[in-house]
Homo-oligomer: A and B are copies of this chain.
Amino acid sequence: DGELYQNGTFIDKIIEMNLRNSVFADCTADHFIALRYEDIIMAKIAVVTCNKIANTLGMDYYHKLHRQAVSQHVPFLYETNVGAALPVICLIRQMRLCGDTPERVEACLSGTLNYVFSRYDGQTPFHRIVEEASSLGYAEPDPMADISGKDVMRKTLILARECGMDIEESQVNTASFLPPQWPCEEHFRSLYLESRQKEGTLRYVSTIDNRGVKAGLKVVPREHPFSGLRGTDVSVILYSRLYPNGLRVEGAGAGGRQTASGLINDILQCV
């Protein structure tokens, strides 16, 4: 019930009811709900979320939530924070539990940006393709949130933290590829022509290694796995001692149904 939620009493209510094996699933992108996870976990209620806010606030809150989840023996699961239902967070966790750690992560995390850059050929104006992605339901309601790279930055931050890095949002090195004026077709056409000249494909790539965490537009060579991504598919490659050539996961990384199936997987792990 919307009203119950609006004044926060829905969460008070489930804490008060104190039912066994409760799972709180957050399918919003709401800041205030993310700040209530602490209360929920302390009440021994599992939290499953596709909301990226809690994991991208300060490290203090991040550590606090994770520590509390452990001490309360309560699952806090957020596989859908990165790549919808694709197994990314759980793979990093499994690696680390076995004494292996990703030494380097390369990822192409935005289904929207992959779609847009795959479609753009310098003919149809760039902003038209963004509108198209939006009307097909691939992009956020405000597609600028997607193409500004803000969403990718959050996913990259979450992956870096999952790899064990103590890192704040401000330390993720992102370079926006947007022109000061929007739309500015000339800007995008020159990016496209540059990629053609280098015989590559434009991709928004995240990189995590001991030199830092960054995300930005790159021209990847045709033979690189990111170049061949289709539709809204995303790709994550984890390099570690056991996976020197990389452990690669690839597939639909956006979409309501995919995210819902990822949430169900997480919920099933709680019970």
Which A residues are closer than 8 A to B by beta carbons? 85-87, 90-91, 94-95, 97-100, 223, 225, 228, 230-231, 233, 242-252, 255, 257-258, 260-261, 264-265, 268
Q: Do residues B91 and A264 form an inter-chain contact, with CB atoms below 8 A?
A: no
Q: Do residues A252 and B261 form an inter-chain contact, with CB atoms below 8 A?
A: no
Q: Which residues of B contact A248 (CB under 8 A)?
A: 248-251
Q: Which residues of B contact A244 (CB under 8 A)?
A: 252
Q: Which residues of B contact A250 (CB under 8 A)?
A: 246-250
Q: Do residues A247 and B252 form an inter-chain contact, with CB atoms below 8 A?
A: yes
**Minimum C-beta distance from A106 to chain B (A):** 13
Q: Which residues of B contact A261 (CB under 8 A)?
A: 94-95, 98-100, 242
**18 residue pairs A–B, Cβ–Cβ below 8 Å:** A85-B98, A87-B90, A94-B261, A97-B264, A98-B264, A100-B261, A223-B228, A225-B225, A225-B228, A233-B245, A246-B250, A247-B249, A247-B250, A247-B251, A248-B248, A248-B249, A248-B251, A250-B250
**Minimum C-beta distance from A112 to chain B (A):** 16
User: Beyond A247-B86, A247-B252, A252-B247, is A242–B257 a contact (Cβ under 8 Å)?
Assistant: yes
Q: Do residues A252 and B257 form an inter-chain contact, with CB atoms below 8 A?
A: no
Q: Do residues A252 and B245 form an inter-chain contact, with CB atoms below 8 A?
A: yes
**Nearest residue in B to A247 (C-beta to C-beta)?**
B251
Q: Which residues of B contact A95 (CB under 8 A)?
A: 261
**Nearest residue in B to A86 (C-beta to C-beta)?**
B247
Which of B91, B242, B252 is the one whose CB lies under 8 Å from A243? Answer: B252
